[in-house]
Structure formats: C-alpha cells, structure tokens
Amino acid sequence: MPAELSPIDTAKFTAARRAVDFVQDGMKLGLGTGSTAAWMVRCLAERVREEGLRVQGVPTSTRTAELARDLGIPVVTLDEAKWLDLTIDGADEFDADFNLIKGGGAALLQEKIVATASDRMIVIADAAKEVAQLGAFPLPVEVIPFGWQSTKLLIEETLVGMDVLDRQVTLRMSGDAPLLTDERNYILDLHLKRIGEPRQLAMTLNQIAGVVENGLFIDICDMVVVGHGDGRVTVRDLQAGLAEDGRVNLDDARNIFADLGE
C-alpha cells in the first residue's frame, strides 16, 4: 500500500466508503464490478469484520466474487437470493438524470440483471464520470459470437438513424483474440461521442438479432455518490431531489489495506 493514495484512488475510495454507510444488517446486496466497486467490496468487508454486519452478496462478475470471498463476505447467487435490497456499482459515465454507461469492465449483462433485481441502485464514481451528455465513453454492447459480424453490420446500419455524433463500431480484444465475457460472449464498443436519445438507442439496440444487452442503464440508478480527490463526497438522491455534501476520513483507506496485510 503506497504511503499516499493518488487523487483518483482517493476519490474512488471516498465514494465507496460513503456508499457502504447505506448498507444495513441483513441486506442482500448486489456487488458491482470495476476499480471503484473493488474499493466498495473492501469497505464492506471492513464493516463485516469489525461490526459483525450480516449481509449476503451477489457479485456481478467472477472477479468480484473472488474478491468478496477472499475478504470474508458471504456470496450467494442471484437465484438463491431471488431479490436484492440494494446494488452498489460504479459507472463509466452518468448524466444529470442518472442515466449511465456501464460495461467498461465487460460485465454489463450481469450488472444490469443484478441492478434491475434490486430495490435500489447506488452508483459510486469520481467526479470525472459526470457528463452533460452520454457518449464520450464508448458504449459496450454484448453480442453472441455466432454471426457477430452480421450483428455488427446491423448495429452500424441502425446507428445511421440515431441521434449520435459518430458511428464507429469495434470488437473488443484481449490480446490477439476477442475478449470473452463471463457468459462467453463478445463485446462491441460503439464510439458515438454523443448520444442524443439514450432511451431510444437502448431500446433499439436490444431489438437487433444477436445483441444480448447494451451498456445504457436507463431508469435504474436511484442515487449517485461522487467522491473527490481531497476526501469530499457528495450524495445525490434522484427521487428526493437532494444533494448532501460531506467528508470521509482518508486514514480509513490505509487501515483497510493494513488490516489485510497489503
């Protein structure tokens, strides 16, 4: 563990630490995937260890499942849990209406299934993830490998009629081979630069044969917790229309890693 966290890691930890405050004893939780979500899992494990907090976690990827188990968080499947009280996850972008782009970590399918099977979803992010309009981050679309090039062509043709600034579509690679998701599917990244009508685009993409799911999360997120590099944190509740500012003790981050022997 470095002596000082970078500003971006500080922001991620700050958001994660504040979001975990919303977890209550006995909850069934969706555990997100990505670098910010990894901070959340560590912060949750600290509460489990120090407070005896009883929770069940439903991970959104094999990576998150391994981390949660290693840190002592009880893990169950979504089928075992059936329904969740809360999901906490990161985002690649979010706008003022809490519409999201997710899937930079190639876990968008499980992330969306888990989030929509929850009473509430909290997104944790650093301030750079907030945008006036979605689309600067490439939009991931998960497709089945069979006929993926035909699916790609259909997506490109569909984008001609959409309110987007660019229409480049690329296959996400892992070295020399296509990246495989946990469900053994491919990811097509849509480099759109600007998405004028995210709701329309999300619905249209999912009607294309071969598309499994897209990374636009519309009307799913209820709260955003934004962390800053100086330890400040802002909690925004969409339904209540409120924003609350606070601060997180940054020594807690070092304590988490010290306790884990890292």
For residues 169 and 105, what is the distance between their CA atoms, to the nearest angstrom?
Answer: 17
- What angle, rounded to 10 degrees, do the helices at 35-51 and 62-70 form? 30
For residues 13 and 1, what is the distance between their CA atoms, to the nearest angstrom?
Answer: 14
Say if residues 83 and 187 touch (Cβ distance below 8 Å): no
Burial class of residue 59 (count of CB atoms within 10 Å of its CB; 0-12, 13-18, 19+): buried
Quick one: CA dihedral 166, 171, 174, 175, positive or negative? negative
- Write down the residue that tokens 């005896």 correspond to: 52
Query: Phi first, then psi: what are they for 93, rounded to 5°?
Result: -155, 150
Answer yes or no: 66 catalytic: no
Query: Phi first, then psi: what are they for 175, rounded to 5°?
Result: 70, -125
**Catalytic residue (choose from 46, 93, 111, 213):** 111
Say if residues 37 and 12 touch (Cβ distance below 8 Å): no
Kindly list the catalytic residues: 111
